[in-house]
Amino acid sequence: MITALIITFISVLFLTPFVKKLAMHIGAIDRPNIRKVNTINVPRMGGLAIIISFFIGLVIAQPQSEHLIPLIIAASIIILTGILDDIYDITAKAKLAGQLSAAMIIIIFGDMQIDFVNLPFGGQVSFGYLSIPLTLLWIVGITNAINLVDGLDGLAAGISAIALITLSVMAAIMGNTFVIVFASLLAVSCLGFLFYNFYPAKIFMGDTGSLFLGFMISILALDGFKNVTMISLIIPIIILAIPIFDTIFAIVRRVRLQQSITAPDKSHLHHTLMDIGFSHLQAVLLIYAGAATLGMAAIVFSQATIWGAFLIGALLLLFIELLVELLGLAGKNYRPIISLVRGKR
């Protein structure tokens, strides 16, 4: 396994410059516009280097699982969707179609879905016919959450690496070798890519990378935590809290402003941090710190008693809500808790 990780890391360092030249040759360029932070043309599709390096490591590690073939087929659809978007800027509907197709392959042929959860105080909730739409929502939601957070140099790669390292640790605790191998190889690929993608970025991962990473993270979390206790089901949500809640409040914000939920804007977490005075690099490092803190919280959460887990979960939700209100992530006038506290003074 160590050999696979080392070769994966070296591969991404070696391949990224070649992918950069390929992106420039075929026109996969991220051009500046009003909603983007970059002020010059930057080649995208760098995720291809992450993907190829990951698969090189996978061939060396040779993990065994009944999910392997369906996962590779589904991932190939996601990769193709990302490449087409990086080159041709395909529509949101076309991207969603690719994601749904890949998710259905995982559900039908990979037999991976959220069928039930065991309640903390006994009993079980079976989702029945809802298991498929719930699983689809999870896969597509996480895939797009990582895609949407890819707004600053090194942000998506860094957050993905932190989430994948946390998933590796959790998988080690649970004894899930398949998730350990996949998550570790992907984390190393992301860390290697950061040599070229960290501020100031020489290449972006593009949708080729962000869609692939989001999809793989959603599947690994699903494989590691499906059909377990309700408390355990919260663990991947804590690990991925930043992209998940950034996406949720983006939807809330757009609904409140009577905009399409797919409409782009500059009110994501990384935008708001820069708006209040943090530099590009400082905003990225702050979000890294937040993601790492949440990753450690998830590990502590997994080892806590039921009541301890409830307390940690409640405090995390309160902290996230206050952060959302202070930064205006759901809209400048969305401040229910702050208004409630001020009203009692």
Structure-block tokens of residue 307: 């009541």
* Residue 207 is assigned to a ligand binding site: yes
Contact 137, 205 (CB under 8 A): no
Structure-block tokens of residue 87: 């080159």
Name residue, tokens 């992918």: 19
Contact 147, 211 (CB under 8 A): yes
> Rounded to whole angstroms, how far apart are CA atoms 29 and 212?
19
Q: What distances in angstroms separate CA 31 from CA 27, 35, 85, 154, 323, one per listed residue?
A: 10, 11, 14, 17, 31
End-to-end CA distance of the chain: 59
> Rounded to whole angstroms, how far apart are CA atoms 89 and 261?
18
Contact 171, 243 (CB under 8 A): no
At residue 118, φ and ψ (nearest 5 deg) are -90, 130
Contact 218, 139 (CB under 8 A): yes
Annotated binding site for Mg(2+): 147, 207
Annotated binding site: 147, 207
